Amino acid sequence: MLYKMYINGEWHKGNGEEQNVVSPVNGEVIGQIPLGTAEDVDLAVKAADASKHLIENMTVFERAEILNQIADAVSKRQQELAELLTREHGKPITEALGEVATTAQAFREAGEQIKWMNSEIIPTRDKNKRAFAYRRPKGVYGVISPWNFPLGSASTYYIAPGLAAGNAIVWVPATSTSAVASEFMKCVEETDLPKGILNLVIGRGPVAGDALVVHERTSAIGFTGSTKTGEIIHSRAGAKSVLLELGGNGPTIVFEDADIEHAATSLVDASFVNAGQICTSTERVLVHESVADGFAEALMERIENIKLGDPFDETTVMGPVHNANTAETVADHVKDAVIKGAKVLSKTCGQEWPTEMYVEPVIVDYVTKEMKLNTEETFGPIIPIVRYKDKDELIELIESSPYRLSSAVFSRNTEKALKFAESLKFGFVHINEASNYWETQIPAGGTAGSASGYGRSGGRASIEEMSEVCTVILSMTGENKDE
């Protein structure tokens, strides 16, 4: 089966070659995707540009109605979409069902949110002036999304809020999760969304994604992905509005007065969700040396519950990682740590797996500052323990990684934890909760100037990022003018 692009309300095979979609679950070919070219992007952007007035001129209530239709269509196909998501991505079916439910929720919530975002009247010094600030769409929005939450992140961060704000969108998803993106567009096709408002171009990032970034008629780009690609996009986008949601590397900090059992339970529950392929995942745990042994033991007791296996089995906690690159990065980071003196605590079960993408959950102790596990993003199923002795060393460790996305602090002294959280220059900080806890209405994003990008996504924050303020100033004249 060929999973097609959707441009101007029609299904396209594109102008390029085709590529097999290979499942990480068992190596099976589950279909083909077209590899779109700059010409396909041009077609989609021009369609979006020609239709953008249709959504811009809708009332927010009309937009909300259409967003609800998309949500209904997604909910109706929840099982079908989740099965394809698991097959194409590798995540457990239980998580895939959750991701599809979140996708539907994203459209409902954006529809709700936009209805209650009032415009402003700005007070003026001159009593004969009236200044009104209206929120208006940015125009044609280019969206480039990653493979880790192919539907959830694209919808929550960009597509749902972008449509709510009145933009026309051209979406280039990660090549390796384009089949499920194409199936999602069947839900959109069923609704009253006018043709050309939401377009899907399937193709490789450096080809189709790049063509979208540089196209003269895209006015804004929303990108979620790696820091390296984010930097390329930033330099290619020129003066366009760019929202960059990039990588992360924790940290999670466990103070000497933390509830160790609670911290261990939270981290084991959270670190292996989506096989650790989450930008806000635990990545590295900085533990005070006085409690590190007990903490490591508590993690080890719990890791046995992380069942790796067939993602279609509902009792499986972790399926395969998405691609060979991720499996290699985990192996490389562990090897680097072991060569430099770290100790792998977890045992491998020695089972034979259908593909090389089945990576067992790993706990590594005695990780130090210079190791890749501390400085780089691993993006896999791993909990590295870095022991620190005092506050100075803790700060040095925090600063030894360039990422500033999400972090977590565990302490029984919540005032102390709050004060420390306030001093951390991260996009968001969790207290007594794992760093990847998130609800779709909570603003998420990196600290400007760091490797984690800038801008905020989630709920109202996304709508604000995907729109801009237009101010109209009216001058009273004649008999309406006050002297």
Q: Is 349 a catalytic residue?
A: no
Using CB under 6 A as the criterion, what x/- string covers residues 427-446 for binding ligand NAP?
-----------------x--
Contact indicator for 206, 111 with CB cutoff of 8 Å? no
Residue 382 touches ligand NAP, criterion: CB under 6 A: no
Enumerate residues 206-225 that contact ligand NAP by CB under 6 A: 206, 209-210, 213, 224-225
Residue 279 touches ligand NAP, criterion: CB under 6 A: yes
Residue 146 touches ligand NAP, criterion: CB under 6 A: yes
Q: Is 245 a catalytic residue?
A: yes
Residue 238 touches ligand NAP, criterion: CB under 6 A: no
List the structure tokens of 320: 């395969």
Instruction: Give the three-state DSSP class for 376.
Output: coil
Residue 248 touches ligand NAP, criterion: CB under 6 A: yes
Query: How far apart are alpha carbons 154 and 166 in whole angstroms?
Result: 16
List the structure tokens of 428: 């968001």
Using CB under 6 A as the criterion, what x/- string covers residues 76-95 for binding ligand NAP?
--------------------
Q: Which is nearer to ligand NAP, 105 or 435 (CB)?
A: 435
Cα 397 from chain centre: 25
Residue 233 touches ligand NAP, criterion: CB under 6 A: yes
CA distances from 254 to 118, 312, 431, 433 (A): 42, 35, 10, 11
Residue 175 touches ligand NAP, criterion: CB under 6 A: yes
Q: Which of 13, 6, 16, 15 is nearest to 47 (CA)?
A: 6
Q: What are phi and psi for residue 224, nearest 5 degrees? A: -125, 130
Pick the binder of ligand NAP from 37, 103, 155, 229 (CB under 6 A). 229
Query: How far apart are alpha carbons 56 and 19 in whole angstroms?
Result: 36
Q: Which is nearer to ligand NAP, 4 or 234 (CB)?
A: 234
Residue 51 touches ligand NAP, criterion: CB under 6 A: no
* Amino acid residing at 273: V
Contact indicator for 414, 376 with CB cutoff of 8 Å? no
Residue 36 touches ligand NAP, criterion: CB under 6 A: no
Q: Which of 94, 82, 261, 285 is nearest to 184 (CA)?
A: 82
Report the nearest approach of ligand NAP to the CB of residue 212 (Å).
7
Q: Which is nearer to ligand NAP, 51 or 178 (CB)?
A: 178
DSSP code at position 276: G
Where on the chain is the footprint of ligand NAP (CB under 6 A)? 144-148, 153, 174-176, 204-206, 209-210, 213, 224-226, 229, 232-233, 245-248, 279, 377, 379, 405, 444
